[in-house]
Amino acid sequence: MSYIQFPSGRSVDFTAIGRLCIDLNANEINRPMEETRTFTKYVGGSPANITIGMSRFGLRTAFVGKIANDQMGRFIHRYLEQNGIETSSVVADRTGAVTGLAFTEIKSPTECSILMYRDNAADLLLTPGEVSEELIARTNMFLISGTALAQSPSREAVFQALSYAKKHGCVIVFDLDYRPYTWKSSEETAVYYNLAAEKCDVIIGTREEFDMMERFEHNPERNDQITAGKWFDYSAKIVIIKHGKEGSIAYTKDGASHRAKSFPAKVVKTFGAGDSYAAGFLYGLMQGWTLEKSMVFGSAAACIVISSHSCSDAMPRADEVHEYIARCERGEIVV
């Protein structure tokens, strides 16, 4: 059964708006940040990673965002272009803002953390006037993520983009991507997340992220059906709630819930799993696959990324994901 109908005749399959930053991943893994001396630089930011993933799958992609007018900003811009991502709506800041940095700590395969530097970050200075209606009008699927809602004027830019996406009939995806250090209060977060979610066709987040959105709701049992059901009264067709090791559940407007099997992985670090899962799942939707097959593809893509040192560089091609699934089914990948 197809839960999503995509527009036809568009020149761009997928466009995202939001955070473009630099990930500095620890080279000395299995030790704390205090003892780590060297890092490897990658392009980062959840919407950027998802867009890179979609491009690696062979889709026509674009990005709406702002980068610093510095060496890091130029590194990001070049990387996007090298990955076939349209950058006509990636603009350079002229106020002296800087590129956001994320230093990663890899103490063990399951104990990872991120130290963020987000003061005066260029991506949060994107203005509504810098959002191209023309680009969004020729896009099939449009993705927003939560961090871009954290501050003005980026917040207003996202809502302007949502207005364009609704006007032109794009399929709208909300990757919750909640980062508490970019928000002033939990109340502010809940209000703006809810306002954005009302306009979206697909909402993807962890159980904890949905809990944050329900600050003013009554759901003491943290019931997924109640959480998902709220959004079906608005625009949502699919709500995915992720439960970590227990897997993800996709809820649909007809009252059904969908689960998919998970795969073993030789885990290096945990971050990047959500971005690669989202890219794989959304790719499956765009291919017209069932929800279960799309979720399987997303899970396998996530396994590939968490088995690697990077996030953006590790985003796999479609054939690599299919091969990973086949190897797991043959019992060749055992943890």
Q: What is the DSSP string of 238-279?
A: EEEEE-GGG-EEEEETTS-EEE--------S-STTHHHHHHH
Quote the DSSP letter at residue 262.
-
Q: How many CA atoms lie within 13 A of 34 on its CB side?
A: 0
* Structure confidence by residue, pLDDT tens digits, 167-181: 999 999 999 999 988
Contact 15, 250 (CB under 8 A): no
Task: Please report which confidence band the pLDDT of residue 202 belongs to, taking 50, 70 and 90 as the band edges.
Answer: very high
Average per-residue pLDDT in the chain?
95
Contact 247, 241 (CB under 8 A): no
Contact 177, 46 (CB under 8 A): yes
User: Which amino acid is present at 187?
Assistant: E
pLDDT at 144 over 90: yes
The listed CATH number (3.40.50.10800, 3.20.20.10, 3.40.1190.20, 3.10.560.10) that belongs to domain 12-19+46-96+125-329: 3.40.1190.20
Quote the DSSP letter at residue 75.
H
pLDDT at 331 over 80: yes
Sign, Cα dihedral of 325, 329, 332, 335: positive
Peptide bond into 32 cis (omega under 30): no
Contact 273, 242 (CB under 8 A): no
pTM (whole model) above 0.95: yes
For tokens 């690669």, the residue is 276
pLDDT at 268 over 80: yes
Going by C-beta distance under 8 Å and a sequence separation of 6 or more, which residues neighbour residue 90? 20, 63, 64, 65, 66, 67, 77, 80
Contact 76, 43 (CB under 8 A): yes
Question: Residue 42: left (phi > 0), alpha (psi -120 to 50), or beta?
Answer: beta
Contact 153, 26 (CB under 8 A): no
* Structure confidence by residue, pLDDT tens digits, 123-135: 999 999 999 999 9
Q: Which of 43-52, 186-195, 214-223 has the lowest mean pLDDT?
A: 214-223
Going by C-beta distance under 8 Å and a sequence separation of 6 or more, which residues neighbour residue 318? 56, 57, 58, 283
